[in-house]
A = this chain, B = another copy of it.
Amino acid sequence: MTDGQYTKRQKESLKLWIELLRYSNKLEQIIDDKLRQNYGQNISRFDVLSQLARAKPEGLTIGELAGQLIASKGNITGLLDRMQKDGLIEKETKKNDRRSYLVRHTKKGNELFAEMAEKNAQWVETALEDIDIDHMKEFAQFLSKSRNSLD
């Protein structure tokens, strides 16, 4: 399959796709490494704690949580089990629906999240320090808008 068989639009789409993957994966890797080295956590766990931190105080069901997560999608049963074992989250059976239960962060989980979030803001700021703020705004809006058309 040579380049000649692709349309101009396909070539540009592929270029953008590759660059997006490269950039995003690299950035994700940088933050993931930092979280692991400094807190023994990874982006999936940070993501879970982040969603629980902004959730209503009684917590979220598995389904609600799964729908909000950015990184991990699939089986979060094991992830939550391990986080519960580490004392970061707790579960409570729902009275009105015995299939379901609520997940919320513990005091320990929330304190850890607060620490990680602060550091994360610094790491991300450093990683993006060469981008001027106007470009950042424009770029973020562009991505947000474009994402809606992916559905």
Binding site for B on A (CB under 8 A): 1, 5-10, 12-31, 70-71, 73, 113-114, 117-118, 120-122, 124-125, 127-131, 133, 135-137, 139-140, 142-144, 146-147, 149-150
B130:A13 contact, CB within 8 angstroms: no
Q: For A16, what are the chain B residues with a Cβ–Cβ distance below 8 Å?
A: 128, 131, 136, 139-140, 143
Q: Complex: how many Å from CA A111 to CA B25? A: 28
In the complex, the answer to whether A143 meets B27 with C-beta atoms within 8 Å is: no
A117 to B10, CA, bound (A): 11
- Is A121 touching B18 in the complex (CB atoms < 8 A)? no
**Closest 10 A/B residue pairs (Cβ):** A24-B24, A130-B149, A19-B143, A16-B140, A1-B114, A23-B143, A13-B125, A10-B121, A19-B140, A12-B136
Q: Are B22 and A124 in contact (CB-based, < 8 A)?
A: no
How far does the Cβ of A55 sit from chain B's closest Cβ, in whole Å? Answer: 15
Q: How far is the CB of A34 from chain B (nearest CB, A)?
A: 13
Pairs across A and B, CB under 8 Å, 16 listed: A1-B113, A1-B114, A1-B118, A10-B124, A12-B137, A13-B124, A14-B120, A16-B139, A22-B70, A23-B144, A24-B24, A29-B73, A30-B150, A129-B149, A131-B146, A139-B139
